[in-house]
Structure 1
Amino acid sequence: MSRGAVRTWDIFIQLEMRALLLLAALGAVAAATTENFVGHQVLRIVPSSDAELQKVEELQELEHLQVWDGSEWSF
């Protein structure tokens, strides 16, 4: 192999290693920023009266609770 070809392979390997390092760093950042849902609960609430519906709407206003009606996901 000529010296030019060897140099080209050296540059290619350096770029490949940098890309691999960048990919590993991005993976580490993504893993560190994922949200942990340990201790969270999912409850199914089906209000059977207007009074119960009113209570669910009041729960929606609380900051630490999220109420999902399922309309975002339709199959």
Structure 2
Amino acid sequence: MIKSHSDLVLEITAHDADTVENDLNAAVEIVRQHAMQEGRHGILVTQHGHTRYTVAVSPDVPFGQTHERRELGQRET
């Protein structure tokens, strides 16, 4: 499931690998369109747990690039 927090931040929650991959690819493409229109920032994909990710336009990422990071904290139920 892709949940929009804004035009520039999408949250992905999925419980199987195929859905994670498909939803992440779709979310990156949506966010990429916004990043290209803006022309200043890149895309940051963050893994928050085994089933939750965010994809966002980020000023911390150079334009034209996509970075990934992990912020694995508490266990998910």
TM-score normalised by L of structure 2: 0.29
Q: Which has the larger radius of gyration?
A: 1
Higher relative CO (Cα under 8 Å, sequence separation at least 6) belongs to 2
Q: Which has the higher strand share?
A: 2
- Per the normalisation by structure 1, the TM-score is 0.30
